[in-house]
Structure 1
Amino acid sequence: MSQPFRQGATVYLSHVWPDLTIEWHEERIVASSKAPLQTLSSAVYGGGFGAAERFVNWKVPLTYDCSDPVADFRGMFGEWGYPDESTIGFMTAAKLTHASVMEEAGDQFAIVCVTTAGVSNAARAGIGRPSFSAYAAGTINTFIMIDGRMSSSAMVNAVIVAAEAKAAALQDLGIEDPLHGGHATGTTTDAILIGASQSDRYDSPHLYAGAATTIGNAVGRLVYETVYESVITRDEP
């Protein structure tokens, strides 16, 4: 098991990346880096390409009114003492205590992967569905933080590998789309973060991150394992 916060811990210190810390609070999980990371994400707050030092996975109730999440994040950042310009924000209704954390050091990189998962609105991509179903509760949020140098295209490549690995984990778990049947490939509200240190401590950048590269293979395995663990334990105390 790689769910440190189920055991009562509130802080996780990375073994492969000493500058990275993950903290659990009752209403949020926060990953913090000592230096800004170059980011690519689908975050509610601060999404797209950018740079940030702090990454928040905020637990909201199933009844959360999502009419203005950006304003809500700004209010919460002020309450928590986080600067808007260097913080990226995600939302979830999943159990934060069941976050799965796994890490690995490899060829010119170190990766820390954190996933929280709910599958109440599991969905299969590629099938038509009514748009209102996108607002059901439940989501899979994955933070993939990489100490290493990556090209922008490699970061996009990592998103592809991560999405494939998530879909594979859900298929192996037998998670189905309740609307159409068949294996789910995710949920209607999944979100992802790729954060790269771009540190000059590494000799050369990773230009690609497909499944056959060392870095892409590691991303795929860590995403698969964290999604699998967080989903399979979601109903456990």
Structure 2
Amino acid sequence: MTQPFRRGALLYESSIWQGLKVQYAEDRIVARLDQPLQTVSSAVYGGGLSTADGFVNWKVPLHYNCSDPVGDVGRMLEQWNLSTSATVGLLTAAKLTHASIAESEGDCFTVFCMATSGTGNAARSGMIREVFPAYSPGTINIILFIDGRMTPSAMVNAVITATEAKTAALLDIGIKDHANGRGATGTTTDAVVIGASQSERYGALHAYAGAATTIGNLIGRVVYETVYESTSTQGEL
């Protein structure tokens, strides 16, 4: 894992996934690929089931007016000359400089993960709480790319595995729900993106992505590592 943008880098190029590049700007991080990915996500813009080759993590101010986030992202994509139909957009108030990246090759796949983390709105799922605004400062955003073939159910399984790994990292760090002091399972505004290339070059189809599978095991590890690093360093320069 690494935090390339803390050292002043403006571009990260994958060493194991040809054509995967991540560019940093003061108000956004943009990941681009040479080929579109099949995606499932909880992203504000382009969420649900989609196809995309561009992924934006947009840093908004703490006082951001969230009345029209989809429209806001769409207008920014046009301003940045990015496709409004093939881009997935996320919002965050976390430090983009502290984005953590990890990537690794498996037996029949390659995995890339990037996480940004701000836990000012940390929360524990399953607790009774007051209704929060649709957007609050903070957010853990996880962008996970898999070069390989996955069934739709395996992609949903990857969401579960990634969420479990995120929660494990937060509990190990000791992040608390501010409302009750118990261990946080996430924040009130977390988002996750799963993107699969569906490439046949590995000759395998992954039907599952739980922790006991090779692909799920690696997904869990890279998500844990990036969430742990981005969260534990959020208070540092």
Q: Same fold (TM over 0.5)?
A: yes
Structure 2 distance, partners of 1:6, 1:31, is 17
Equivalent in the alignment of 1:53? 53
User: Are the aligned partners of 2:19 and 2:33 in contact in 1 as well (CA < 8 Å)?
Assistant: yes
Structure 1 distance, partners of 2:40, 2:133, is 26
Equivalent in the alignment of 2:156? 156
Look up the equivalent residue of 1:119 and give its one-letter code. Answer: T
Equivalent in the alignment of 2:145? 145
Q: Shift of residue 98 of structure 1?
A: 0.3
Equivalent in the alignment of 1:120? 120
Structure 2 distance, partners of 1:134, 1:171, is 24
Look up the equivalent residue of 1:72 and give its one-letter code. Answer: D
Question: Is 1:12 equivalent to 2:12 in the alignment?
Answer: yes
Structure 1 distance, partners of 2:110, 2:31, is 15
The DSSP-based 3-state class of the residue aligned with 2:17 is coil
Equivalent in the alignment of 1:79? 79
Q: Shift of residue 74 of structure 1?
A: 1.2
Over the matched positions of the two proteins, sequence identity in percent amounts to: 59
Q: Aligned residues, how many?
A: 237
Look up the equivalent residue of 2:37 and give its one-letter code. Answer: L
Structure 1 distance, partners of 2:98, 2:26, is 12
Structure 1 distance, partners of 2:180, 2:49, is 34
Structure 2 distance, partners of 1:84, 1:133, is 26
CA RMSD of the aligned region, Å? 0.9
Q: Which runs of 5+ in 1 are unaligned?
A: none
TM alignment of 1:62-73, pairs within 5 A: 62-73=62-73
Q: Shift of residue 133 of structure 1?
A: 5.5
Q: Deviations over 1:83-104 (max 9, x none)?
A: 1110110000000000000000
Structure 2 distance, partners of 1:95, 1:121, is 14
Structure 2 distance, partners of 1:177, 1:73, is 29
TM-score using structure 1 length: 0.98
User: Are the aligned partners of 1:124 and 1:184 in contact in 2 as well (CA < 8 Å)?
Assistant: yes
Look up the equivalent residue of 1:52 and give its one-letter code. Answer: A
User: Are the aligned partners of 1:133 and 1:188 in contact in 2 as well (CA < 8 Å)?
Assistant: no
Structure 1 distance, partners of 2:77, 2:57, is 12
Look up the equivalent residue of 2:41 and give its one-letter code. Answer: S
Look up the equivalent residue of 2:216 and give its one-letter code. Answer: G
Question: Is 1:212 equivalent to 2:216 in the alignment?
Answer: no
Question: Is 1:182 equivalent to 2:182 in the alignment?
Answer: yes
Equivalent in the alignment of 1:101? 101
TM-score using structure 2 length: 0.98
Equivalent in the alignment of 1:130? 130
Q: Shift of residue 134 of structure 1?
A: 5.3
Structure 1 distance, partners of 2:146, 2:171, is 26
Equivalent in the alignment of 2:31? 31
User: Are the aligned partners of 2:100 and 2:114 in contact in 1 as well (CA < 8 Å)?
Assistant: yes
Structure 2 distance, partners of 1:103, 1:73, is 27
Structure 2 distance, partners of 1:10, 1:119, is 25
User: Are the aligned partners of 1:16 and 1:111 in contact in 2 as well (CA < 8 Å)?
Assistant: no
Q: Shift of residue 19 of structure 1?
A: 2.0
Structure 2 distance, partners of 1:136, 1:154, is 31
Question: Is 1:223 equivalent to 2:220 in the alignment?
Answer: no
